[in-house]
Amino acid sequence: MVVITFIICWIRVKHDNGFPYRWVYSCATVLLGTHAAILLLSVAASSYPGVPSAQAPTNLIDLSIIVLAGTIRWSFNAGLIMAAIALADPMLRTKDLFENFSDQTLEAGALGLGLVSAILLIVNPIALPGVVIAIAALARSALVNQYQHATHIDTKTGLATAEHWHDCAESMLKRARLRGDNFGILLVDLDNFKAMNRIHGSAHGDRVLRAVADDLLRGVRETDTCGRWGGDKFSVMVAEVTAMHDVRRVADRIRRCIQSVVVEPLQGSAITAPLDISAPVGGVLHVPGNESTLDELILAAESALYEAKNDGRNTVRLTSARTDLPTDSA
């Protein structure tokens, strides 16, 4: 049944990414989890296969075993998938592994509904339509969450969209003022990206944006939030900082990460050597007592960014929200 389900999904779902091994691996994780659950049921359940006992306390023991079997099945599937993702990208941050964990809770909910359906089928089949309605509502809710998630993620870079990043920054600003915390805003603008796009084409430019976004994530901390500000600009919220030098440390790390990006030219390109990629970084530090709005903080960061661009490639300029004057450089 698991294999049949995956075959149907393979036929019905678009699979232009050309990675059939992912489907095979996902199917294998479900099969392993299912057989692990079957092994537990066959060893520990009072009657398997068959109807669980209706007498106490055996019925409670059987119910606990069934719940444990479902948990094992789900854990095998989720754990093996997350392990594969972590092995494929050793630099991936821990929190990114749990970014779509709500999908796994949906899977756990489906297993719970399966248990309820099995019980109702034995005790009172007339009530099964209620479970069907619950499943339909659950599926609809899952689609809504997926659509909301899609609107928050930039498709070319995998980072937050400008609108979603702005909302997150507004929340951080409110939280910082309530707690009396500092935080920084960094803006990154790739050097000569428009010329690169014009010479090598938009397809190569998209690959550069994705590579820069990946290295940008490696350059920040787990508490920071990255977004695509638009075009070849990126934005970063730097949380949990104590002084300007903390923001500068993150900005320097971002600059070095982008400088190390290597994007091979597309096949058939007249240029065969990888292109040099660099970016100036401008930023602002918000300190307690400052009443600037988020847009004013972003404007201060943009001013620092433009100064970094005017001073040359691959530089960092920072400013304080209190003065809106450049106070630190690298």
Asked: is 162-329 a CATH 3.40.50.620 domain? The reply is no
Q: How many CB atoms lie within 10 A of CB 157?
A: 21
Q: In the structure encoding, which two tokens stand for residue 199, read together?
A: 């010479």
What does the alpha-carbon distance between residue 260 and residue 276 come to, in Å, rounded to a whole number?
Answer: 9
- What are 2-11's pLDDT values in tens digits? 677 767 766 6
- What are 199-256's pLDDT values in tens digits? 777 887 888 898 899 888 888 888 888 999 988 899 999 988 888 999 999 999 999 9
**What are the sequence ranges of the domains in the chain?**
2-152, 162-329
- Are 265 and 274 in contact by the 8 Å Cβ rule? The answer is yes
* Token pair 């007249």 in the structure block, residue: 270
Indicate the burial class of 304 (C-beta count within 10 angstroms; 0-12, 13-18, 19 or more).
buried
* Token pair 């009443």 in the structure block, residue: 291
pLDDT of residue 87: 83
Contacts (Cβ under 8 Å, ≥6 apart) of 22: none
Between 146 and 24, where is the model more confident? 24
Enclosing H/E stretch for 189: strand 182-189
What does the alpha-carbon distance between residue 269 and residue 69 come to, in Å, rounded to a whole number?
Answer: 55
- Are 52 and 31 in contact by the 8 Å Cβ rule? The answer is no
- Are 205 and 135 in contact by the 8 Å Cβ rule? The answer is no
What does the alpha-carbon distance between residue 113 and residue 135 come to, in Å, rounded to a whole number?
Answer: 8
Length, in residues, of the chain: 330
pTM score of the predicted model: 0.61
